[in-house]
Amino acid sequence: MIETIHNWLYSTMPQGVASIVEMILIALAYLGFFAIAGLFLVLMERKVAAWFQLRIGPNRVGFYGSLQTMADALKLLSKELTGTAKADKFLYNLAPYFVIISALMGLAVFPFTKDIQAFDINIGIFFLIAISSIGVIGILLGGWASNNKFALIGAMRSGVQAISYELSIGLSLLTMILITGSLQLSEIVEVQKNGWLIIQGHIPAIIAFMIYMIAGTAETNRAPFDMVEAESELGAGFHTEYSGMKFAYFFLAEFINMFIIAAIATTVFFGAWLSPFGITESIPWLGVFWFLGKTLVLIFLMMWFRWTFPRLRIDQLLTLEWKYLLPINLVNIVIMALIVWLNLTIKF
């Protein structure tokens, strides 16, 4: 279907116009996916929370509450955009766009199938790590520009947390890149046609995955690492002074970032759109369901963390990274390098 649309555009329009129209259509498709995925993940969070707490959860709007998040989105659209009189207006208004745009840019490089990938850049993993760092700038700007002490404390915590846990995310991904020899996501998937990397890489791959999921949960500021918001201490943290759609941007970006963290793990450790049975090669469109299915399982795991563990103190959060995760990561990457050097990766 995608190839049909591509051929039709270039056969009916001048090449330059067709190229622009194609880019607009791709952008609209990703914006639609961004909105739908965000609303779905909010609903999933509420249903999972209800299941863990033996509650029913949203069950009024739509079939079994399926339209509850849509109703909440309409409510936020109708809310007045308030702010503080002493806020830095320009930076206060700019901050939510840093967060939302960085999340949207991150989605562009994922290979949903062999043919559905907007931007197959040769430094895909590096691009994702760099883009995730830009989102933190939006949080820092929002907290500082709000001129609110709770927002500022939340923003400072976010900076410390991001600097700390990005190290573990980067090193755990680098551990797996040693096997593939490439940063390009499509090539990483191709390597896994002989078996998912979490299997090819022996025990170091499993350790890298565990560290990645812990650090990824911290990077998205989710419990038990939600020191950035910490409702019982800081109100709502860095977005205390935001309302309406500006608040919705921060809220939506948190869930999309959770999707991005899970999607990176799906691509690097679990073969992205590749099924364990090889059927996606003969039926390519099934790859989308395999990719989304694996990603949703990992998102469920992150939600499980939230409703299982109590929130850490800020000193415990930093101790976990600098005294435990980082040293384990450094040893693990050396072991993986030895495995690759000795050619001990498992092939199927």
C-alpha 247/C-alpha 238 separation (Å) is 10
Structure tokens at 73: 């989105």
* Contact status, residue 46 vs residue 306, Cβ threshold 8 Å: no
Structure tokens at 10: 């270039």
C-alpha 260/C-alpha 99 separation (Å) is 13
Alpha helix segments (H runs only) across 221-310? 231-234, 244-269, 279-282, 286-306
- pLDDT in single tens digits along all 348 residues of the chain: 667 776 777 778 788 888 888 888 888 989 999 989 999 999 999 999 999 999 988 988 888 888 999 999 898 888 887 777 788 889 999 999 999 999 989 998 999 988 888 888 999 999 999 988 888 889 899 999 998 888 888 888 888 888 899 999 999 999 999 999 899 999 999 999 888 999 888 899 999 999 999 999 998 888 888 888 777 677 777 888 888 888 888 888 889 999 999 999 999 999 888 887 765 555 667 888 999 999 999 999 999 998 899 888 888 999 999 999 999 999 999 999 998 888 876 554
The interaxial angle of helices 244-269 and 202-219, nearest 10 deg, is 180
C-alpha 88/C-alpha 134 separation (Å) is 20
